[in-house]
Structure 1
Amino acid sequence: MVPCDTCFLTLAIVSAFLIVSMDARSWDIAVAIGQQIDFFAQNKSQVGQALVSDAEELTGLAYDSITQTLYMSDVKDNKGSMLSTNLSNKDSEPFSMLNYENGTSISSIVFDPETRTLFWTDGLRETLMKMHVPSNGESIRPSMLHNLMMHNPHGIALDICNRYIYWTNSNSTVHSIERSRLDGSERSVIIDNNLYAVYGLAVDHTSAKLYWSDDIDTVKYKIERSNLDGTERETLQRGRYHLPVYLAVDNEAVYWADWTAKAVWRVKKNKGAKDEPDKFASYEKSHPSAFIKSIITRDNVGKPNCEAMLRVEKERQNHKATPASPMKSSINLTTSTKEMNSTTKAIQPCLNEGHYDEQKATCHCRNGFSGTRCETSVCHNYCVNGHCAVDSKGLPECTCTTAYNGERCERDVCDGYCLNNGVCSVSATGPSCKCENSSGSRCQYTNELDKFCSLYCMGTKEMLNSLSLTFCRCSELNETLSEGLITSEPLLQSTLILSVLLGVITVLSLVVAVLSYHVHKLRRRPRIRKRFVVSKGGVTPLTSRPQGSTDSCEITIENCCNMNICETPCFEPKLRATPTKSSSTKKEEKNSLLESMEGADSC
């Protein structure tokens, strides 16, 4: 039960409601978008329109075919409200049946004509609510049917004949379809595998089938159906670039609201191999910022032919395979074991090589399969692009085509592969890029492009008339250049100082090398040796060696200077020169040398 301080009921007129003239029974499909409700015939022609001027966003529609009353919900400032209006009177104005003061979000509505009860899912409160609506128009306080905390309920559908209510759970960790009796009993999960983001839901009372929409990876989608108990599941439609959020069915087709293309699509329930979805209505231009928040079909929400529906279900149950019993021939003889096994195989109730337990009347499925008849494979809708196989552990494993990769082959190999506006293509060897104004295997090198953009941004556009450089981000480039100049000033100073130091070191090195060379050369200069022949008396030097040995002698003088006996000046290196001596000392050394020549040791 909802606390009374969170809601209040009123029958006051809340807004203007303008209906374009139409017969209340002439429409087949109603679509809610923004403040507007459009009514269409099956041939796509629009037969009417209603505008709720005070509404912000209509988020749900339900219809009572007996009183021709249309119920709708509105979300305004996180306050949900329920409105009703009679379509048989074009001058009727909507009445407020329910106002929520606290945060709420009514996602989808259904109406049960037998008990005159409205059911809806509340996305913010995460509840499934119900409210009785008497025929006199007065409504009573709503109550909670189910607390769906942490489940994020969205789509809702009603099986009027079997008295079941269905809803979808689209929490990031809980993807399932549940059902219960209208009083909340017998709650159970009927489908909880191979669902990714299930939103739209509808019960087809003509074929006794349950339909739902599933957004696989924000790119791919599928429309599926099953029996009302979740068995015999099959995919009706799969495609790309649709986000199907709301779903409806009629006698011939399935309709869904696509939030990507802002359109309503439909496909035949018994589609052939070449049948493609048909765009029923488009709001891309008329309502570019709004989303379609509800679709209903009049044929499926009225009072259905329950006898025909139950008959279809009964025939389906009878058609299901049952355990084979020994068969007798026309002459009252039991058939052979071989014939009985052959018959049993023909009506084998367990699919995908499942084993049937006759005592328990159940199927034991092999790894990778589940369901009452082992009809559901873990590979069902698992691989987005590629082939799926069940591995030894019973888990799905994908083999991707060359254009996709990832665990489920969900990633296009070209996504983000080519840089700098390169065009990606895929071949047998993998992705490759076609570059423009760049180079490299992934168009990663943009030196020339940066150069062109620099010239373009500096104002030399007349030099680049042959190039389209409007994509150059001049403001960013100028910022980068300014930052580069500011950053380069300290670097320039450091470079100048370093260059001066290197120059000084080089000059000093050359000076040291030159000095070292000269010192080495002077050290290796040969010693000066002179030989003279003089008279033994020491009076006059001889110019040639005498023939005899008594009149002369030979003197060898090394490094002598300032001596009269020397015929030529001698050179003595300054580094080897002894300290300068006085002239008297030199004369004494000279006389001593001459006296020694006259001694016994001379010559």
Structure 2
Amino acid sequence: MPGTANVKMFWILLSLLTTASAEWDVVISEFDFLDFLYSDGRNVSVVQGSHRGGVNSLAYDPIYENLYFSDTSDVHVTHIKIMEVTREAVVSPAYSVVSINSSNLYFRDLAHDPVNSSLFWTTTDIPYTAGQIWQATLDKPITFSPLLRLEGQIPQGIVVDSCRGYIYWANMNQTSPSIERLRLGGLGTGPESFISNQIFSPSDLALSQNQRMLYWIDEKTSSKNSIIARAALDGGEVEEFLEFKDGHVPKSLAVTNEGLYFTEESNAVYVVYFSDPVKTLHKLNHTVYNPQGIAVRNQLAFLNQNKDSCPPLAELRERVPPRRNITVCLFGKISPPVNGIECTCWAGYTGRHCEIDMCHNFCLNGERCFLTDGHPTCDCAPDRTGSRLVPVLLVEVKRLELWM
């Protein structure tokens, strides 16, 4: 019978949450899994995110320390899930915050804006007629709706500039490829073409707040080689950052203060350090399988150098304390909070963390305990009575004492 051992396990788990010391730097989505790594590629932990190979796009919230990811394992419904993540890569069970009817849509990419507490993602129609930008507002209750319908565009990667209030997306329509952007908050006249020259087939995007540069994956039409290009956030300084002449095909990007990380189709992850004038490709010492999205943890390091460079994020970071632990539901699942309680317990368990077995020691003489309408019930022997199997003789003695 579960009981004392489970309670001990609960406290062991709580101890693990507060004593782990490794701090992850990079997370990769791989088929079913989320792979948390150090910056050099050594593994911190591996977490299952899906059961049928649907984990794709990633978006990390460095303020509240939440990881969002898309799960496309169901061909009819795409789920955007949330997972609490400590700096030590201890995670909560994931649960869906948005479920999208994707029978007629291709889900493309995902981005998060902590300042406005919103998610943004790109889709294209099936069969192709147009693309869409969607927005979900994460304040309770969570709502989502199309933000833009983009006739003639094939939106791919998307990023949010929370400091300046823009979203950027890559338009892969090869007859008129571009990087587009939209001012958030109803300001401006609508979407505008941000980069439309020296661009060929843009896919994934990454934003460097430290450099105030936008990076994207592209393909050079003259050589058919993959490249990574970049531009300043005012639309100037468009340049080729890297050209891959040896068969590298990057899939997804992420940027830190130190360098540019990318996954590629050869089941590898690379980093290029900005301090290296030669731009040497450093392969992380870790094998990945079918890598999809990539995200980095330390996205706010630029604020340590100059917090005035981004007042919205600096103010939010000062207001929100770092997470020290996460919710654990030992025999249950994480749910949106109700009256401060975040666990929905499995039948037969209760407590703030679902750590209490309702049947443990419920039947006084060791008889079998089972659940009836969610409540513990005992299987009575002939010489026992009551819901907890008090001996019949003891009941009669008590009755006699009361009568006397």
* TM-score, with structure 1 as normaliser: 0.43
Q: In the alignment, is the contact (CA less than 8 A) between 2:210 and 2:302 conserved in 1? A: no
Identity over aligned pairs, percent: 27
Counterpart of 2:64 in structure 1 is 67
Distance change (3 Å), C-alpha of 1:94 and 1:177: same
* Contact residue 41 and residue 286 of structure 2 kept, 8 A: no
CA contact (8 A) 2:62 2:299 kept: no
* Structure 2 residue identity aligned to 1:230: G
Higher relative strand content = 2
User: For 1:137-168, what per-residue CA distance to the aligned partner results, in whole angstroms no more than 9, with x for missing partners?
Assistant: x4422122221232111111111111111110
Deviations 1:462-494 (A, max 9, x none): xxxxxxxxxxxxxxxxxxxxxxxxxxxxxxxxx
Partner of 1:30: 27
Alignment of 1:54-93 (within 5 A): 54-76=51-73, 77-88=75-86, 90=90, 92-93=92-93
| Structure 1 equivalent of residue 171 of structure 2 | 169
1:254 and 2:260 aligned = yes
Q: Which amino acid aligns with 2:215?
A: Y
CA contact (8 A) 1:131 1:142 kept: yes
Structure 2 equivalent of residue 104 of structure 1: 105
- Selected match of 1:140 from 142, 146, 154: 142
Compared CA separation, residues 104 and 146, structure 1 to 2 (3 A): same
Contact map agreement 1:113 1:303 (CA 8 A) in 2: no
1:79 to partner: Cα distance: 2.7
| Residues 59, 106 of structure 1: 8 Å contact kept | no
Deviation at 1:96, TM superposition (A): 1.4
What amino acid sits opposite 1:97 in the alignment?
A: V
Answer whether contact 2:257 2:301 (CA < 8 A) is retained. no
**Distance in 1 (alpha carbons) for counterparts of 2:52 and 2:40:** 29
Indicate if the aligned counterparts of 1:225 and 1:235 stay in contact, CA closer than 8 A: yes
The structure-2 alpha-carbon separation of the partners of 1:229 and 1:78, relative to structure 1 and needing over 3 Å to count, comes to farther
Contact 1:66 1:302 in 2 (8 A): no
Tell me the residue number matched to 2:8.
none
> How is 1:217-232 mapped onto 2 (pairs within 5 angstroms)?
217=221, 219-232=224-237
CA 1:303–1:127: 2 relative to 1, 3 Å: farther
1:365-380 mapped onto 2 (5 Å cutoff): none
The equivalent of 1:119 in structure 2 is 120
Residue 298 of structure 1 and its aligned partner are, at CA, apart by 1.4
Deviation string for 1:158-200 (max 9, x for gaps)?
1111111111001222211011112364321111122121112
Q: Write out aligned runs for 1:303-322 (5 A).
A: 304=303, 307-309=307-309
How many aligned positions are there? Answer: 282
Given that 1:32 and 1:59 are in contact with CA atoms closer than 8 Å, whether structure 2 keeps it comes out as: yes
Residue of structure 2 in register with 1:295 after alignment: 294
The Cα of 1:307 is off from its aligned counterpart by 3.9
* Partner Cα separation in structure 1 for residue 242 and residue 23 of structure 2: 29
Q: Map 1:373-522 onto structure 2 (within 5 A).
A: none
Matched, 1:203 2:203: no
Please give the alpha-carbon distance, in whole angstroms, between the structure 1 residues aligned to 2:65 and 2:182: 27
Distance 1:148 1:68, change over 3 A: same
Runs of 4+ in 1 over 6 A off after TM superposition: none
Summarize the Cα distance change of 1:176–1:58 in structure 2 as closer, same or farther, 3 Å threshold: same
| Structure 1 residue 42: Cα displacement | 1.4
1:266 equivalenced with 2:274 (yes/no)? no
1:47 & 1:219 partners in 2: Cα distance? 37
Question: 1:500: which partner in 2?
Answer: none
Q: Could you tell me how far apart the structure 2 residues matched to 1:181 and 1:300 are?
A: 22
State how far apart, in whole Å, the 2-side matches of 1:47 and 1:215 are.
33
Moved more, 87-96 or 97-106: 87-96
State the alpha-carbon separation in 1 of the partners of residues 180 and 22 from structure 2.
33
- Alignment partner for residue 131 of structure 1, among 119, 130, 136? 136
Distance 1:184 1:165, change over 3 A: farther
Bigger mean CA offset, 200-209 vs 21-30: 21-30
CA distance in 2, matches of 1:40, 1:130: 30
User: TM-score of the superposition, structure 2-length normalised?
Assistant: 0.64
Q: For the Cα contact (< 8 Å) 2:257–2:302, is it kept in 1?
A: no
Distance 1:269 1:209 in 2: 12
Shift of 1:251: 0.8
Aligned counterparts of 2:131 and 2:142: Cα–Cα separation in 1? 21
Distance 1:165 1:64, change over 3 A: same
Q: How big is each residue's C-alpha offset from its partner over 1:104-128, in whole Å with a ceiling of 9 and x where there is no partner?
A: 3332211111121111111346211
| CA gap 1:302/1:251 in 2 versus in 1, 3 angstroms | closer
> What displacement does 1:234 show?
2.1
- Is the Cα contact below 8 Å between 2:209 and 2:302 reproduced in 1? no
Change (3 A) 1:127 1:184: farther
Q: Note the alpha carbon deviations across 1:252-273, whole angstroms, 9 max, x for none.
A: 11112212x2222221224313
Structure 2 regions of 5+ residues with no counterpart?
A: 1-15, 312-404
Q: Which whole-Å CA distance do the structure 2 matches of 1:65 and 1:178 have between them?
A: 25
- Distance change (3 Å), C-alpha of 1:123 and 1:48: farther
8 Å CA contact retained: 2:40, 2:285: no
1:239 has 2:244 as partner = yes
Question: 1:53–1:191: structure 2 CA closer, same or farther, 3 Å change rule?
Answer: closer
Could you tell me which amino acid in structure 1 is paired with residue 118 of structure 2? T
Q: Are the structure 2 counterparts of residues 304 and 49 from structure 1 closer, same or farther at C-alpha, using a change threshold of 3 Å?
A: farther
Pick closer, same or farther for the CA change 1:276–1:143 going to 2, 3 Å. Answer: same
- Structure 1 residue 282, shift from structure 2 partner: 5.5
Secondary structure of 1:197's counterpart equals coil
Structure with more relative contact order (C-alpha pairs < 8 Å, separation 6 or more): 2
Structure 1 residue 235: Cα displacement: 2.0
Looking at structure 2, the residues matched to 307 and 87 of structure 1 have their Cα atoms a distance apart, in angstroms, of 24
Instruction: Mark the runs of 5 or more structure 1 residues left unpaired by the alignment.
Output: 1-19, 312-603
Partner Cα separation in structure 2 for residue 161 and residue 268 of structure 1: 24
How far did residue 219 of structure 1 move?
A: 4.5
User: Larger Rg: 1 or 2?
Assistant: 1
- Provide closer, same or farther for how the CA distance between residues 96 and 301 of structure 1 changes in structure 2, counting only shifts above 3 A: farther
Contact kept, 8 Å, 2:203 with 2:217, in 1: the verdict is: yes
Deviation at 1:52, TM superposition (A): 2.2
1:66, distance to aligned residue in structure 2 (A): 2.9
What secondary structure is seen at the aligned counterpart in 2 of 1:190?
strand
- Are residue 188 (structure 1) and residue 192 (structure 2) matched? yes
